[in-house]
Amino acid sequence: MARMVTVSFPDSSWRDDVGPVDGVESVVWDPQEAPPQESVDVYIAPYMTKPAGVAVVAEQPSVRLVQLLSAGFDNMLPVLPEGVSLANAKGVHDAATAELALTLVLASQRGFDDFARAQAQGEWTSRHVRPGLADKRVLLLGYGSVGRAIVERLMPFEVSVTAVASRARAGDDLVEAVHGVDELAALAPQHDVIISVLPGSDATHHILGEELLSSLPDGTLVVNVGRGPALDTEAALRHAGRLRFALDVTDPEPLPTGHPLWSAPGVIISPHVGGVTQAFRPRAVSMLRRQLTALAAGEPPINLVHEG
């Protein structure tokens, strides 16, 4: 029989929402305060916490697993103590992030950045032909669970989609094949819209850089809902106006007041809100209950991204 597992929640509201789980004892641990006196096995980090909110587990040597409420985890690995595993919230943010990706694509393709500026001025602008989305060629860079959710929502818009991942592999029910990133340079110029869902890593840093952006035809739309550093900001500024950009993530982030990207032509920016919808909380609660039920049963953790 599995032993009792002690889990810390970032605040009492998360503990209340998750409710009792057989085999689990719960405590509250706000990372800005001292760790609890109890030995904690599983530490649930606050949503959108900075690495410091994970580094605190070093103060509680009993912690064996850190559970994130975000899908991104790359910036947490350097502060994770040796021997501690890390699980992310895979699946929780897929639908919301896919919604935002489609919102950014449609807003740019149909000119809603121009419409918003005109509305603020009380101006009824003249009509002209916009790119739209139907019949466009879309390249999806980063074909994981979020990428797949985006493609599912793209298909009804009558587009053709090319999926690119770190390595080539067989396709699925949505795409005929998944191309390797080594094909990106050849594939990108053949597309009208490029959507990046890439995580942050040395391999993805500035993958959308000067060389690739220079190869794109005029008017190509580049969308980033993954990690800001995948796009070289300075290169994007050089091509703004010739290319269009719709970005939920930036480098640096938050984007400072007065940064030239704010006013660059053809650029739409949202403040990293991909997962911030009312769907988040109930989906995260469901994921936490699945995780804690598995751990209490002595099973391996779900959504494990790093094994300590």
CA 94 to CA 152: how far, in whole Å? Answer: 11
| Greater pLDDT, 266 or 2 | 266
Span 225-246, pLDDT tens digits: 999 999 999 999 999 999 999 9
The structure's pTM equals: 0.93
Over residues 9-35, the mean pLDDT reads 96
Which tokens in the block code for residue 72?
Answer: 């991104």
Residue 254: predicted pLDDT: 96
> What are the residue ranges of helices labelled H in the chain?
12-18, 52-55, 94-110, 112-120, 145-154, 184-187, 210-215, 233-239, 260-263, 280-296
Q: What is the CA radius of gyration of the chain?
A: 21
Over residues 53-59, the mean pLDDT reads 96
Q: Which of 305, 307, 256, 275 is nearest to 73 (CA)?
A: 305
Span 70-105, pLDDT tens digits: 998 999 999 999 999 999 999 999 999 999 999 999
Residue 2's pLDDT band (cuts 50, 70, 90): low
Residue 231: predicted pLDDT: 98
Residue 155 has pLDDT above 70, yes or no: yes
Residue 26 has pLDDT above 70, yes or no: yes
Average pLDDT, the chain: 96
Residue 1 has pLDDT above 80, yes or no: no
Question: CA–CA distance from 131 to each of 93, 138, 292 (Å)?
Answer: 29, 13, 47
Residue 281's pLDDT band (cuts 50, 70, 90): very high
**With pLDDT > 70 as the criterion, what percentage of the chain qualifies?**
99
Q: Which domains does the chain have, with CATH numbers?
A: 5-92+278-306 (3.40.50.720), 93-269 (3.40.50.720)
Span 162-183, pLDDT tens digits: 999 999 999 999 999 999 999 9
Residue 302: predicted pLDDT: 97
Catalytic residues: 227, 272
